[in-house]
Amino acid sequence: TRTPVNVTVTGAAGQIGYALLFRIASGHLLGADVPVKLRLLEIPQGMKAAEGTAMELDDCAFPLLQGIDIFDDPNKGFEGANVALLVGARPRTKGMERGDLLSANGGIFKPQGKAINDHAADDIKVLVVGNPANTNALIAQAAAPDVPAERFTAMTRLDHNRAISQLAARTGAAVSDIKRLTIWGNHSATQYPDIFHAEIAGKNAAEVVNDQAWLADTFIPTVAKRGAAIIEARGASSAASAANAAIDHVHTWVNGTAEGDWTSMGIPSDGSYGVPEGLISSFPVTCKDGKYEIVQGLDINEFSRARIDASVQELAEERDAVRDLGLI
Ligand code: NDP
């Protein structure tokens, strides 16, 4: 029998947490043969609701779930963690300035990064979901100097999945026929979903679509603004699809990308494609044996270059802002 994997989830009592925990416990995060122990981290006000969720998890009698513990102290929450899903964050409220948002989140992600540094397992893998995800990941990573920087990642998989779905709908293709799509940059309205290297049943996606106006005026804004459209329709933010993307992100990181395909992950830049080193930006990556690599050598056309640069510029500004606030 395998030793259980410790999975820490922050913001466990929130909407995304509710959609996420049951799938982790049923084996979708790591594999149907991998036992897990859940460590739920909440703020004190969230503890009672987290206990309620834990009761429901108990009631599922999941064969792979070997334990649930709930904490409001990050030092305990990340103890022995092999995988950490940082979901809880301070949302932007009406009238809030960007500086206020970044400093409120700095107050969450800096101590969490430090706690990961001091208490997590040596093989820790971190996914940040809570927004602004890329910069929150940067703050946590900077606070964890003893953990290899590449273990800190930010989620752009939901954008990736949304882009595949939109492309499938437009072309009538099956989602499973779409490969090599890329999200570049920040998980924000400036993100750039790139279909120039994507394939639909083996053919170049941009050529299949053959409609630059649709790409610029419909596809890109639809993907980038999908979150707002969900709120408008549902009266609440996307939670199940965000949780699903978090599952996909970690599952792919641990279990690998399919031959001939890649995925999108927000990861510390090594300078590839002109993205300044250290910024946590989304790239096309392949995964194998629990590690990822940036896909190299893609030809970036002018249309893509301008959009990648704009999103990376926004990331650099966020980094400068958190640096000025003393958060990194
Ligand atoms: P959600 O579970 O709906 O969302 C959590 C975070 O995920 C938000 O930052 C949200 O950003 C982000 N997010 C990323 N992608 C998406 C997406 N596609 N759709 C929606 N959200 C996305 O928030 P709740 O308010 O329901 O729950 C948050 C929980 O976190 C609460 O229980 C709270 O107590 C807890 N918390 C825990 C902390 C801790 O453990 N230390 C710290 C802070 C909070 P956005 O706001 O931009 O939608």
- Residue 94 is predicted with a pLDDT of 83
* Token pair in block for residue 92: 């932007």
- Residue 99 is predicted with a pLDDT of 85
The 3-state DSSP class for residue 8 equals strand
Q: What percent of the chain has pLDDT over 90?
A: 96
Could you give the dihedral angle defined by the CA atoms of residues 59, 64, 69 and 75, in that order, rounded to the nearest 10 degrees?
-160
Q: Beta-strand (E) ranges in 174-279?
A: 178-179, 182-184, 192-194, 199-200, 203-204, 263-268
Q: Could you tell me which residue, 195 or 98, shows the higher pLDDT?
A: 195
Please choose from 70, 237, 249, 318 the residue to mutate so as to test ligand 1's pocket, defined by most ligand atoms within 8 A of CB.
237
* Token pair in block for residue 31: 């594999």
Query: Which residue type does 43 have?
Result: I
Whether the pLDDT of residue 1 is over 80: the answer is: no
CATH topology of domain 157-317: L-2-Hydroxyisocaproate Dehydrogenase; Chain A, domain 2 (3.90.110)
- Residue 240 is predicted with a pLDDT of 98
12-45 as b/e, with b when 16 or more CB fall inside 10 Å? bbbbbbbbbbbbbbbbbbbeeebbbbbbbbbeee
Q: Does residue 266 have its Cβ closer than 6 Å to ligand 1?
A: no
Phi and psi at 83, nearest 5°, equal -135, 135
Q: State if pTM tops 0.80.
A: yes
Q: Are strands 199-200 and 178-179 parallel, antiparallel or unpaired?
A: antiparallel
How many Cβ atoms from other residues are within 10 Å of residue 230's Cβ? 17
| Mean pLDDT, range 116-128, rounded to an integer | 98
What would the pLDDT profile of 127-181 be if each residue is shown by its tens digit?
A: 999 999 999 999 999 999 999 999 999 999 999 999 999 999 999 999 999 999 9
CA distance 34 to 44: 30
| Mean pLDDT, range 196-206, rounded to an integer | 98
What would the pLDDT profile of 245-292 be if each residue is shown by its tens digit?
A: 999 999 999 999 999 999 999 999 999 999 999 999 999 999 999 999
Q: Does residue 131 have its Cβ closer than 6 Å to ligand 1?
A: yes
Whether the pLDDT of residue 92 is over 90: the answer is: no
Element holding 99 (H helix, E strand): helix 98-119
Q: Does residue 224 have its Cβ closer than 6 Å to ligand 1?
A: no
Catalytic residue from among 187, 197, 249, 251? 187
Please choose from 43, 100, 114 the residue to mutate so as to test ligand 1's pocket, defined by most ligand atoms within 8 A of CB.
43
- Ligand 1 atom closest to 18 (CA): 2
CA distance 194 to 191: 10
Give the long-range contacts of residues 94-103, CB within 8 A, separation 24 or more: 98/318, 98/321, 99/321, 99/325, 101/132, 102/132, 102/135, 102/318, 102/321, 102/322, 102/325, 102/327, 103/325, 103/327
Q: Does residue 286 have its Cβ closer than 6 Å to ligand 1?
A: no
- Residue 183 is predicted with a pLDDT of 98
Contact 68, 40 (CB under 8 A): yes
Residues of the binding site: 11-17, 92, 98, 105, 112, 129-131, 162
- Residue 301 is predicted with a pLDDT of 98
The 3-state DSSP class for residue 23 equals helix
Q: Does residue 8 have its Cβ closer than 6 Å to ligand 1?
A: no
Domain ranges in the chain are 5-154, 157-317
- In the residue annotation, 197 being an active-site residue is answered as no
What would the pLDDT profile of 73-84 be if each residue is shown by its tens digit?
A: 999 999 999 999
CATH code, 5-154: 3.40.50.720
Whether the pLDDT of residue 221 is over 80: the answer is: yes
Per the prediction, the chain carries an average pLDDT of 97
Residue 111 binned pLDDT confidence (cut-offs 50, 70, 90):
very high
| Mean pLDDT, range 4-26, rounded to an integer | 98
Element holding 159 (H helix, E strand): helix 157-171
Whether the pLDDT of residue 91 is over 90: the answer is: no
What ipTM does this complex have?
A: 0.92
